[in-house]
Chains A and B, each alone.
Chain A
Amino acid sequence: MRNRLNYIVPVALGIAVLAFWQWAVTHYQVPRFVLPAPSAIARSFVDDHAQLAAATWTTFRIVIEAFVLALITGVALAILFAQSRIVELALYPYAVILQVTPIVAIAPLLILWVGYENIDRALLILAWIVAFFPILANTTLGLRSADRNLIDLFRLYGASRWQILWKLQLPGALPYLLGAMKISGGLALIGAVVAEFAAGTGTATGLGWTITEAGNRLHIETMFAALAILSILGVAIFFLLSALEWALLHRWHESAISGQE
Chain B
Amino acid sequence: MSAVVNLSNISKTFDSGTQAITSLDLDVRDGEFLSLVGPSGCGKSTALRIVAGLIAPTTGSVTWPGGKPEIGFVFQEPTLMPWRTALDNARLPLELKGVPRADAEARSKQALARVGLGEFGQAYPRELSGGMKMRVSIARAIAAEPKLLLMDEPFAALDELTRQALNDDLLKLAREDGITVIFVTHSVYESAYLSDRVVVMTPRPGRIAADIAIAQPSGRTAAYRLTPQFSEAAGKISSALGHAMAV
Contacts and interface: CB of A to CB of B under 8 A. Distances in A.
A252 B124 contact: yes
B41 interface: no
Interface string A138-166: 00000000010110111111110001000
A158 B96 contact: yes
Interface in B88-102: 92-93, 95-97
Contact of A171 (B54, B71, B83): B83
A152 B73 contact: yes
A156 B73 contact: yes
B77 A156 contact: no
Contact of A254 (B54, B81, B126): B126
A168 interface: yes
A206 B81 CA distance: 45
Interface in A166-180: 167-168, 171-172, 174
Contacts of A257: 126
A157 B104 CA distance: 14
B64 to A, nearest CB: 15
A89 to B, nearest CB: 19
Contacts of A158: 96-97
Chain B interface mostly helix, strand, loop or mixed?
Answer: loop
Contacts, number: 52
B49 interface: yes
Interface string A239-260: 0000000000001111001000
Query: Which label, helix, strand, loop or mixed, suits the secondary structure of the A interface?
Result: helix
Interface string B123-139: 01110000000000000
A152 B81 contact: no
The 4 A-B pairs with the shortest beta carbon distances in the complex, nearest first, are: A157-B96, A149-B79, A149-B75, A252-B124
Interface of A: 147, 149-150, 152-159, 163, 167-168, 171-172, 174, 251-254, 257
Interface of B: 49, 52-54, 71, 73, 75, 77, 79, 81-84, 92-93, 95-97, 124-126, 144
15 contacts: A149-B77, A152-B49, A153-B73, A153-B75, A156-B73, A157-B92, A158-B96, A163-B96, A167-B92, A167-B95, A171-B83, A174-B83, A252-B83, A252-B126, A253-B83
